[in-house]
Amino acid sequence: MGYGRLHDIDEADFIVRQREPFNAEPRSQRLIEQYVTPQSLLYVRSHGATPQLDEDHALEVSGADLRTATLTLADLKASFPERRIISAMQCAGNRRADLQSVRKTNGDPWDVGAIGNVDWTGVSLADVLLALGVGDRRDGYVVCTAADVDEIDGETHPYGISISLKRAMAGDVLIAWAIGGEPLSPAHGAPMRLVVPGYAGVRSAKWLTRIELRDEPSDAPIQAKDYKLFPPDEDGSDVDWRTGLVIEAMPVNSAICDPRDGDTLPAGMVTIYGYALAYGRRVARVDLSLDGGACWVRAQFIDEDAAPDAWQRWQCTAELAPGRHQLVVRAIDEAGQLQPECAQDVWNFAGYLSTAWHRITVDAQ
Ligand SMILES: Nc1nc2c(c(=O)[nH]1)N[C@H]1C(S)=C(S)[C@@H](COP(=O)(O)O)O[C@H]1N2
Ligand SMILES: [Mo]
């Protein structure tokens, strides 16, 4: 275990939020250059030191009436059909900086880059569970334990999360070993990790060591306490963790990636770029305002036929007169659901699900 140089990235492309444990997001102009995010531009969010696991590290699958199996990467590749899925992984804390400008929250001040649109290769968790005898059972939980040991609330615990067995059996949940066809780097979970499309990044457990079928969710602090949504009147000092909403499916969100807040641009025609996503529901429309939200124009999608849980990049060309401008973006999903207007309405002490209209200020000269 160590912090070392396990994150195989060019730091010039990143904003490092924390060194130990390593947490970094790509600069948003680089992130938005391509539809599929390469591993070298994917944010890193780790709660503890990066474990160094060998390629022959084995995953144990057990619980309930399942036959117990010990599976290496080679076993998975040999026994199950390979699946490849493009899906956006987003940290529940993405865009937290906007909530922190309302009031202090826990956690790192992520800007818009704690997200990536990832091309995953792996096997379907459903195929593995079916092969081990899960049969028609759909109640209960798939509880995952990872090799990293993290400090939460002053106590150290192995990283653990759970998802419902029903979600696990949908077919798109992967035990993945590659990003963009490249083996996972140590920072991204080598040799194998879970991928839960459409769910907050926290459920996509890296460095998998154990998968168990149980009647109850994981009692690890990451699942039981962290990554829960509380109302704005709760300050986190005396909270009953059981009452929080477990963050799983992610709400509609969008952000401006280029230009960035505080940039100075030449006055005249400019093109503004960003992403929007609503997961299974898809984005119906992206609106952009150049005047703080008084008037709106429609942005064009760059990625017209994006995969169901992928992001869609958008662009908008407009004229900026000399002076200071507040640019605002908001997305609307297929169900007509619009992002909330104000960050104070969605403020929560842990700083999750920051989805208010994204605003940046630029100067045109
Ligand atoms: N074992 C383990 N899995 C983990 C984490 C972790 O700290 N340990 N962080 C989670 C969180 S909060 C996110 S957002 C994603 C980030 O994945 P990445 O670092 O590959 O981008 O991994 C998730 N899986
Ligand atoms: Mo996260």
Ligand 1 pocket, mutate which of 31, 202, 207, 223 (most atoms under 8 A from CB): 202
Question: What residue owns the CA closest to ligand 1's atom 2?
Answer: 206
- 8-18 exposure pattern, b = at least 16 Cβ within 10 A, e = fewer: ebeeebbbebe
Using the mean position of ligand 2's atoms as its centre, give its distance from the Cα of residue 196 in Å. Answer: 13
Using the mean position of ligand 2's atoms as its centre, give its distance from the Cα of residue 38 in Å. Answer: 18
Ligand 1 pocket, mutate which of 46, 95, 163 (most atoms under 8 A from CB): 46
Look at residue 2 in the predicted model and tell me its pLDDT.
38
Look at residue 305 in the predicted model and tell me its pLDDT.
82
Phi, psi of 331 (to 5 degrees): -120, 155
Ligand 1 pocket, mutate which of 22, 23, 45 (most atoms under 8 A from CB): 45
- Atom of ligand 1 at shortest range from CA of 44: 19
From residue 362, alpha-carbon distances to 111, 121, 266, 316 in Å are 16, 39, 10, 15
- Atom of ligand 1 at shortest range from CA of 147: 1
What's the number of CA atoms in the CB half-sphere (13 Å) around residue 286?
29
Question: What residue owns the CA closest to ligand 1's atom 5?
Answer: 46
Coil, strand, or helix at residue 313?
A: strand
Look at residue 314 in the predicted model and tell me its pLDDT.
98
Strands lying side by side in the sheet with 358-364:
264-265, 358-364, 323-333, 283-289, 297-298
Q: Which ligand is nearest to the CA of 118?
A: 1
Tell me which residue has tokens 């459920």: 203
Q: What is the DSSP string of 130-175?
A: HHTT-TT--SSEEEEEEEEEEEETTEEEEEEEEEEHHHHTTS--EE
Using the mean position of ligand 2's atoms as its centre, give its distance from the Cα of residue 188 in Å. Answer: 12
Task: Choose among 102, 123, 205: nearest CA to 163.
Answer: 205
Look at residue 290 in the predicted model and tell me its pLDDT.
97
Under-50 pLDDT residues of the chain: 1-5
Using the mean position of ligand 2's atoms as its centre, give its distance from the Cα of residue 239 in Å. Answer: 21
Using the mean position of ligand 2's atoms as its centre, give its distance from the Cα of residue 115 in Å. Answer: 9
Task: Choose among 337, 334, 43, 78: nearest CA to 179.
Answer: 43
pLDDT digits (tens, 9 = 90+) for 98-121: 999 999 999 999 999 999 999 999
What is the model's pTM?
0.96
Q: Which residues line ligand 1 (CB under 6 A)?
A: 42-47, 91, 146, 148, 159, 188-189, 201-202, 204-207
Task: Choose among 290, 304, 234: nearest CA to 35.
Answer: 304
Single-letter amino acid, residue 125: L
Look at residue 1 in the predicted model and tell me its pLDDT.
36
Single-letter amino acid, residue 99: L
Using the mean position of ligand 1's atoms as its centre, give its distance from the Cα of residue 47 in Å. Answer: 7
Give the largest CA-CA distance in the chain: 69
Could you tell me how far CA 205 lies from the centroid of its own chain?
Answer: 11
Tell me which residue has tokens 């399942």: 66
Using the mean position of ligand 1's atoms as its centre, give its distance from the Cα of residue 270 in Å. Answer: 36
- Atom of ligand 1 at shortest range from CA of 21: 7
Coil, strand, or helix at residue 93?
A: coil
CB-based burial of residue 301 (10 Å sphere; 0-12 exposed, 13-18 middle, 19+ buried)?
middle
Look at residue 94 in the predicted model and tell me its pLDDT.
98
Question: What residue owns the CA closest to ligand 1's atom 10?
Answer: 202
Tell me which residue has tokens 């569970």: 129
Using the mean position of ligand 2's atoms as its centre, give its distance from the Cα of residue 133 in Å. Answer: 32
Ligand 1 pocket, mutate which of 173, 194, 204 (most atoms under 8 A from CB): 204
Could you tell me how far CA 14 lies from the centroid of its own chain?
Answer: 17
